[in-house]
Amino acid sequence: MVNDLIGALIVMLGVLFVVLTMIAYLTYMERKVLGFMQDRLGPMVVGPWGLLQPLADGIKLLSKEDIIPSEANKAIFRIAPVISLVPAVLAFSVIPFGRDSFGFQGITLHPYIADINVGILLILALSSIGAYGILLGGWASNSKYSILGALRSAAQVISYELTAGMSVIGVLILSGSMSLVKIEDAQSGGFWHWYIFPQIVAFVIYLISGIAETNRTPFDLPEAESELVAGFFTEYSGMRFSLYYLAEYANMIIVSSIATILFLGGWDPPLPALGFIPPVLWFLLKVYFFLFFFFWIRATLPRLRYDQLMRFGWKIMLPISFANIIVTGIVAWALQR
């Protein structure tokens, strides 16, 4: 009992440490990737190749003045960034990132914090709660730009969460489980078992909805710089501003992890012969591929107009995801016969 608790605690702290470090270095990676794509060098000054830039940014953000507008609703203004970040980090508790548990001196370390049998549902629920942070932050700032950004974001997140949830159902039909560990297990044994092939439609829909849900370009309407200054966090500064930033990057990692687990087999190596590389590395490799994809899209595509975004979500993405569920259901039923 006590050993279980210690093991869980160690994994928790480890995941938290790795995730926060990953987030910090994602900002660096994003600036580097964008820099190279735009024929620049990116950050180069702090440390070799600018490697210490995230550290410097962190110190700068921590030591900046925390300005609260005089007309703002202070209590909600203070708590909104926290509401945004906490569900994003909490979602990592059900992400399985490896295959083998290993133990020493009676303490077992699992490659996940919790394997609950509705893991995917929990992640969808948490990501919808994250929207409150954006909505409340925009409202509490008492500024026109903020409230417009917040309202846009609320509509966008609700619409695209629906399509993300619907696209996941195809995978649930095939794997017969909502537990992320079981979904991963169902795909093991080489890349031809991965759900990306039977569920290619769902994969594309999930990826697009994921980008829209995290408010990234080309769906970054809530914070469109050229029209809304910075959208819902216009009035935020210092550490509270960076909490929103952390939440955005944490959500990006979550979306990438879910895409990896649902469609690319998670820790499963593409060929059984490549099994000598540890499963955790395969998982990270796939996650980083998706993260790179996020930056790639950002460097490539211009921002959509707001009505285009909503029409695309409701009139194209949602019907296709419904059709995918029906077709998957019929085929799965026919194959069982």
Partner 1 sequence: MMQQLPFIYFGGMALVCALLVVISRVAIYSAMALLGMFVHVAGLFIILDAPFLAGVQLLVYAGAILVLYLFVVMLLNVHSRGTMLQRQTPWAIILSLLAVGELGYLVLTSHFYPKLPAIPHPTVPTLGNTETIGMVLYTQYLFPFEVASVVLLIALVGAIVMARGRSGVRQG
Site for partner 1, rule CB under 8 A: 73, 76, 116-118, 121-122, 124-126, 128-129, 131-132, 135-136, 139, 147, 150-151, 154-155, 157-158, 161, 165, 177-178
Q: Which one, 168 or 287, has the nearer CB to partner 1? A: 168
Q: Which one, 153 or 199, has the nearer CB to partner 1? A: 153
The dihedral formed by the CA atoms of 248, 286, 335 and 324, expressed in degrees to the nearest 10: 30
C-alpha–C-alpha distance, residues 118 and 129, integer Å:
17
For the bound state, the minimum distance from the C-beta of residue 66 to partner 1, rounded and expressed in Å, comes to 22
C-alpha–C-alpha distance, residues 224 and 191, integer Å:
39
The helix or strand, by DSSP H or E, that contains position 47, with its residue range, turns out to be: none
Q: Which one, 155 or 297, has the nearer CB to partner 1? A: 155
For the bound state, the minimum distance from the C-beta of residue 307 to partner 1, rounded and expressed in Å, comes to 9
For the bound state, the minimum distance from the C-beta of residue 271 to partner 1, rounded and expressed in Å, comes to 32
Torsion over CA: 207, 303, 89, 53 (sign): positive
C-alpha–C-alpha distance, residues 204 and 183, integer Å:
18
For the bound state, the minimum distance from the C-beta of residue 295 to partner 1, rounded and expressed in Å, comes to 28
The dihedral formed by the CA atoms of 125, 130, 133 and 139, expressed in degrees to the nearest 10: -70
Q: Which one, 1 or 45, has the nearer CB to partner 1? A: 1
Query: Where does residue 163 rank: exposed (0-12), middle (13-18), buried (19+ CB within 10 A)?
Result: buried
Q: Which one, 19 or 157, has the nearer CB to partner 1? A: 157
For the bound state, the minimum distance from the C-beta of residue 129 to partner 1, rounded and expressed in Å, comes to 6
